[in-house]
Amino acid sequence: MVDKTRIGIIICDRYHTCAGGKCLRSLRNREGAFSRYGEDEDVELVGYTTCGGCPGGNIEHAPEEMIRNGAQVIHLATGMVVGYPPCPHLEHFRDFLGERYRIEVVIGTHPIPQKYYKVHTELGTWDTPEWKEMIRPTLADERTRLDYD
């Protein structure tokens, strides 16, 4: 068995009442952005919180507690990508966290649900090279996306 990887998840404050079901299921099943962890890799969730609302006041402080609890990777939840509009601060959050805390930051958690994939595709939301790269970890096949609807 590989050493334990400890992660933290930061969700968009718009979804502050989210129970985390899709994120936790995808972590357990190693789907979406969690497919980066091997099936034999022991992964532990050590923190789960919101960004604190625009423009992300909690981004400055919450990771510190996650890191004290052993976090080695912070995932910015898929809701920040699929919400409408997608989080306008996503790249800033990623860059700030990486620089401030010297921690790996992954954009995404669970696979993008098909209903969101369809709408954002029609709107052209993710047509830029930057967005294509940001959604890559959570862009699963259609069957998986339907399972997350």
46 by DSSP, 3-state: which? strand
Q: Kind and range of the H or E element at 27?
A: helix 21-29
Residue type, 105: V
Per DSSP, the residues of 63-104 read HHHHHHTT-SEEEEPTHHHHSSSPPTTHHHHHHHHHHHH--E
pLDDT tens track for 6-50: 999 999 999 999 999 999 999 999 999 999 999 889 999 999 999
pLDDT tens track for 94-136: 999 999 999 999 999 999 999 999 999 999 999 999 999 999 9
Q: Which two tokens stand for residue 5?
A: 């990887």
Q: Which two tokens stand for residue 48?
A: 């789960």
pLDDT at residue 2 greater than cutoff 80: no
Residue 1 pLDDT grade (very low, low, confident, very high; cuts 50, 70, 90): very low
Domain ranges of the chain: 2-147
How would CATH label the architecture of 2-147? 3-Layer(aba) Sandwich (3.40)
- Answer for the pair 112, 140: CB distance below 8 angstroms, yes or no: yes
